[in-house]
Structure 1
Amino acid sequence: MLGNGRCEAMCIDGTKRLCHIRGKMHKKVWIAAGDIILVGLRDYQDDKADVILKYMPDEARLLKAYGELPENIRLNEGIAGGLDEEDDNAVDDYIEFEDEDIDKI
């Protein structure tokens, strides 16, 4: 995001383009780093584009499953996407109560 309704997007063809967020999306749809967006290229300016649509995470996963996105594209899987649940050194972030403790509460 660059501010003033603009962002910089890395397109699938390897070109980095300055994108303008259309007025219908401005301040209604928030775009973050790592989001998959649909841009409309301009005929008269190759280095600029317009943001048309932001894909939701489930839509982006479907696009990748259908082969519409290249295999090397990493999707934003959320905060827990990179955590390994079978990590032996992980610290449990819950408190275990005995039955007597629960009765006192």
Structure 2
Amino acid sequence: MPKNKGKGGKNRKRGKNEADDEKRELIFKEDGQEYAQVTRMLGNGRLEANCIDNENNIRKRLCHIRGKMHKKVWIANGDIILIGLRDYQDDKADVILKYMPDEARLLKAYDEIPESIRLNEGIAGGMDDDDADGDANDYVHFEDEDIDRI
């Protein structure tokens, strides 16, 4: 029986981009680019996003996730992304970059993103100010009789 000469299978290849956790330089938008917030994932490498053209103008655009990011950078609802606008199609765009939650907070601090945009930090962001109250309505209380019936 021959010895295995390879280093591993597809699971090893999937874990190659583990070095993305390190700090990277904050990238600002240039001409032909805009910031956007993901509203809906559509599948097939596409998503719907609210583009922040300026303070008063927020447009919905259909965005395509470029091949370099496809299946390597996971994008979810509420994420802040950088998109490249198309000259020939105004209602479509291409996703160039996904900002990490701390980078999105920095963009908001630099007034690149308007204050009206609510950032979705997910689990890494911790609790919001609204959740800090610790309302009793967030929990379901059972009586001993209910537990015995289950």
TM range (shorter): 0.7 to 0.9
The equivalent residue for 1:2 is: 42
Q: How far off is 1:83 after superposition?
A: 1.6
The equivalent residue for 1:25 is: 69
Higher strand share: 2
Q: How far off is 1:31 after superposition?
A: 0.6
TM-score between the two structures when normalised by the length of structure 2 = 0.56
TM-score between the two structures when normalised by the length of structure 1 = 0.78
Question: 5+ unaligned residues in a row in structure 1: which ranges?
Answer: 92-105
Select the structure with the greater relative contact order (CA < 8 A; seq sep ≥ 6).
Answer: 1
* Residues in 2 aligned to 1:7 and 1:50: alpha-carbon distance in whole angstroms: 10
* Residues in 1 aligned to 2:92 and 2:44: alpha-carbon distance in whole angstroms: 15
The equivalent residue for 1:96 is: none
Q: Amino acid of the residue matched to residue 32 of structure 1?
A: A
The equivalent residue for 1:53 is: 97
Change beyond 3 A, Cα 1:88–1:17 = closer
Q: RMSD of aligned C-alpha atoms?
A: 1.7
What is the count of residue pairs matched by the alignment?
90
The equivalent residue for 1:87 is: 134
Instruction: Name segments (4+ residues, structure 1) moved above 6 Å.
Output: none
Question: 5+ unaligned residues in a row in structure 2: which ranges?
Answer: 1-40, 140-150
Q: How far off is 1:88 after superposition?
A: 6.6
